[in-house]
Structure 1
């Protein structure tokens, strides 16, 4: 399957998931607002999600997919699936013990992960209770990550990309059930919903594997050479593949010391910029890693270099205008999405300020997803961890410095700046090793993308000024005004891109064609 088709598959389902996620967050903002229950649930939801992205989807996927692809190419399907079965049994066994200990000592861990929550206070008690309920989600996601990684190695991306849709559907149902009930009751419903959603995704991926005739069985744990290699790669990968998640966790820890609502503002802003990040960055990175792994296993260095350049081109083509739009109209976006019910205009403005700061780093967040597979596909997870350590130190220092002047916005800005630092180091190292060089086509198109994004930004700015009155009206009027801005900006960028030669319809059509050798 061609790269753009793979990206379209993952991105399409991710778009559906993120749209449902927006509906979920709009309901959540209306029902919970930005109070202590919301802060407690977001911490409870973020902690297992952070470990999921570090251990299951981050370190595990970064190490497992290249090894599985090599096993598949060298020894065939049965040997690769046997390796997967051993990996699954060891991973699940470890996470069962880890989760049990974490849940038992949750009050102590909460002091470390949200030290700003006063012990025995409402936010602290609710966060402990909710996190104990949501934490088994981590185990479920580990199984989903392994099954999804296997499917991706066979270029079957749809099931893994569609699985998160179940989470959003279940949480939306919990919110609808909880309308007109107390906030603490809604928080409990959401925590239970997260646990149920984890189980539902496991069942969904198991069925997808069966339909694809890919049987993965739990096997007696065996620490052979392949498993030892997997865990050696996983240890540094836990940081290297999850630098962004660690940065977000650092932000949560620091934000817990700020005024009530700060964690919620950062959460809602994070949810908005996660839409383009998920649809573009995660989709491209998901499709790129197995493709690079197989190309490098076959010794196709030129093809791998071309894959990275086209992935970079496709990502920037969509990311640069998205980042520009989020920086020009953040207030309008947060007003329409979240300013309802318990979510006040003050909370909306605070969220918009954080969104603007996050948007400055959106291209960097996406580029990390493109550059990291250049290391992971070569079974190098050590280099990204070293880069990640420097990026995390920079994030902590900047956060502590900037919150004195910008409050919660300083945390978002520090996350963006440290991500750019991460990108710069990864790019320099790949280039010096001869693993990546930006070709002339990418550089030429990049200039056109920047010009088209600037033109779009100017158009959005003046359109926003002319529609200012509409954004003080009722919700339907605000929705219509935002749609007009988004559609108008998209059309202006597309026209500018075609005029500057940034995007050519004939090339897009050719990329959509399935390659015979795929």
Structure 2
């Protein structure tokens, strides 16, 4: 399979998901602004998202996908189906238990996630966060099973359905904010209801896709038999260090969210909207490449193709720099235009734009690190080495919190974003060093020339954007939404033309990345 085409497929569907997610957030900003009640929603929404990343997309995916890829390559289809049945059965019952505990213990969970909401003057915000947390906890079960289905579909090289189903969550929340919110005494509760409906919809679509492939798992109560399966035990053993590793990253998010609840009201919301803008490059590039690389790396490792393994990582890193560097520079230089055009309406005022813009710039500083981690970490996971990334993640957690001590007193909520980005850069550098020392990744020739060409193109693009910005007052165009949209699209398109035009002049050709220096996988 042509990996560039596969990554482009995932990116195109992910783009649709991110666009609908952006529309969702624009509607939320316009209707609710950035204040204490929106902070309560984002705190509540981060709780199921945190556990989803921990149990599903994080630890489970890292342990499950490489072993499933190995099983697919070395065993019969029927043996693979039996493994799917047993893993799905265990996962389902564990998730139901976690969900029930979460619903009961919601006040404690919210206190841990957003202790700043416990103040006497924010009692109503705390109660709202608890209510929405309880409503959204079943979303964890849905999305963990969706992650299971996505792992299976990606391993069988069916990337489109897992990439496009997040659109359903966004559409559900959009519908809830438009049609349900006006009918509720507390309108923002509609968003929590929309989250659950969106989770159920994603699960239905993914399992329908598995059924078409004859891979839909048969949930069974024979949990002892499932637990006794040696391959299932291998997955569980791999999940333990993976859980620790992912927990470290999520603990950092928990700490940062908690800190944000103690800052000015609206801080959690400003960070959430800035994070939404960061999700465009991290999902379109980082997540897309990670999705297609992990199964390919796992199969290359199982077949003992060391040179192909290294070439796959080299291809991913080059593509990350090619697209990640201009994305980070563009986000920083166009931060005011992006935030104003997307959110500066209704209850979201100019002060909110300024605060969100600061967070966007801070995130942009560490964008390359955030992207590179998604390429380098699978280099360990595919070899079923999860302990090394865990050790690195523990060190990065300490480093991130030390950075918080330095930046937050001066930059407030933007300091939290900057610490996350710089921590990701430290993480990526440590992962790269580990792969190089093990001889797993050997850079191909031409990196120096490649990097110098990128620097020239970035300098020209940055100069053009900075010059264009001096002629535009984004805030003054609040009443001319479509004019702002047109100008923003023109600047983004123009920046892309300038960047790739300079690269083309310097000898870059797109077909150099079709195979990425690797055999077709």
Q: Same fold (TM over 0.5)?
A: yes
Alignment match of 1:454 (pick from 454, 459, 480)? 459
CA drift of 1:328 comes to 0.9
Partner of 2:151: 149
CA drift of 1:238 comes to 2.1
Partner of 1:283: 288
Partners of 1:66 and 1:469 lie apart in 2 by: 47
| CA shift digits 1:47-105 (9 cap, x unpaired) | 10111112101110111001011111111221112112111111121121112112101
CA drift of 1:169 comes to 0.8
Residues 363 and 420, structure 2, Cα contact 8 Å, conserved in 1: yes
Change (3 A) 1:514 1:387: closer
Partners of 1:496 and 1:416 lie apart in 2 by: 28
Partners of 2:463 and 2:251 lie apart in 1 by: 35
| CA shift digits 1:390-413 (9 cap, x unpaired) | 111111222133211111111011
Partners of 2:244 and 2:342 lie apart in 1 by: 33
Partners of 2:15 and 2:256 lie apart in 1 by: 26
Partner of 1:295: 300
Residues 273 and 356, structure 2, Cα contact 8 Å, conserved in 1: yes
Q: Which consecutive unaligned segments of at least 5 residues does structure 2 have? A: none
| CA shift digits 1:347-388 (9 cap, x unpaired) | 011000000000111111110000000100011111111111
Residues 34 and 270, structure 2, Cα contact 8 Å, conserved in 1: yes
Alignment of 1:322-401 (within 5 A): 322-401=327-406
Partner of 2:231: 226
Q: Which consecutive unaligned segments of at least 5 residues does structure 1 have? A: none
Alignment of 1:463-478 (within 5 A): 463-468=468-473, 472=477, 474-478=480-484
Is 1:310 the counterpart of 2:315 in the alignment? yes
Partner of 1:128: 130
Residues 313 and 446, structure 1, Cα contact 8 Å, conserved in 2: no
Residues 320 and 450, structure 1, Cα contact 8 Å, conserved in 2: no
Partners of 2:402 and 2:375 lie apart in 1 by: 26
CA drift of 1:249 comes to 2.6
Change (3 A) 1:232 1:507: same
Residues 110 and 128, structure 1, Cα contact 8 Å, conserved in 2: yes
CA drift of 1:476 comes to 2.1
Partners of 2:247 and 2:322 lie apart in 1 by: 24
Partner of 1:5: 5
Partners of 2:504 and 2:69 lie apart in 1 by: 38
CA drift of 1:245 comes to 4.2
| CA shift digits 1:470-497 (9 cap, x unpaired) | 8545222222221221111111111012
Is 1:193 the counterpart of 2:194 in the alignment? yes
Partners of 2:34 and 2:474 lie apart in 1 by: 26
Is 1:252 the counterpart of 2:282 in the alignment? no
Partners of 1:175 and 1:441 lie apart in 2 by: 51
Partners of 1:370 and 1:51 lie apart in 2 by: 22
Partners of 2:403 and 2:517 lie apart in 1 by: 46
Partners of 2:105 and 2:330 lie apart in 1 by: 44
Partner of 1:489: 495
Change (3 A) 1:475 1:179: farther
Change (3 A) 1:83 1:180: closer
Partners of 1:302 and 1:471 lie apart in 2 by: 55
Residues 448 and 497, structure 1, Cα contact 8 Å, conserved in 2: yes
CA drift of 1:242 comes to 6.3
Partners of 1:138 and 1:237 lie apart in 2 by: 18
Partners of 2:286 and 2:230 lie apart in 1 by: 33
| CA shift digits 1:391-449 (9 cap, x unpaired) | 11111222133211111111011111111111111111111011112222344322222
Change (3 A) 1:177 1:514: farther
Q: How many residues align?
A: 514
CA drift of 1:244 comes to 4.7
Partner of 1:87: 87
CA drift of 1:458 comes to 0.9
| CA shift digits 1:221-273 (9 cap, x unpaired) | 22222112111111221243565544333211110111110000000000001
| CA shift digits 1:167-197 (9 cap, x unpaired) | 0111111111156567x63321110111111
Partner of 2:71: 71
Secondary structure in 2 matching 1:315? helix
Q: What TM-score, normalized by structure 1, do the two folds share?
A: 0.95
RMSD (Å), alpha carbons: 1.9
Secondary structure in 2 matching 1:366? helix
Change (3 A) 1:37 1:491: same
Residues 239 and 388, structure 1, Cα contact 8 Å, conserved in 2: no
Change (3 A) 1:471 1:245: farther
Partners of 2:321 and 2:248 lie apart in 1 by: 21
Residues 471 and 477, structure 1, Cα contact 8 Å, conserved in 2: no
- Comparing 403-412 with 433-442, greater Cα deviation is found at 433-442
Change (3 A) 1:107 1:26: same
Partners of 1:469 and 1:119 lie apart in 2 by: 37
Partner of 1:271: 276
Secondary structure in 1 matching 2:115? coil
Residues 350 and 475, structure 2, Cα contact 8 Å, conserved in 1: no
Residues 117 and 126, structure 2, Cα contact 8 Å, conserved in 1: yes
Partner of 1:212: 213
Residues 45 and 133, structure 2, Cα contact 8 Å, conserved in 1: yes
Secondary structure in 2 matching 1:466? coil
Residues 312 and 518, structure 2, Cα contact 8 Å, conserved in 1: no
Partner of 2:55: 55
Change (3 A) 1:471 1:308: farther
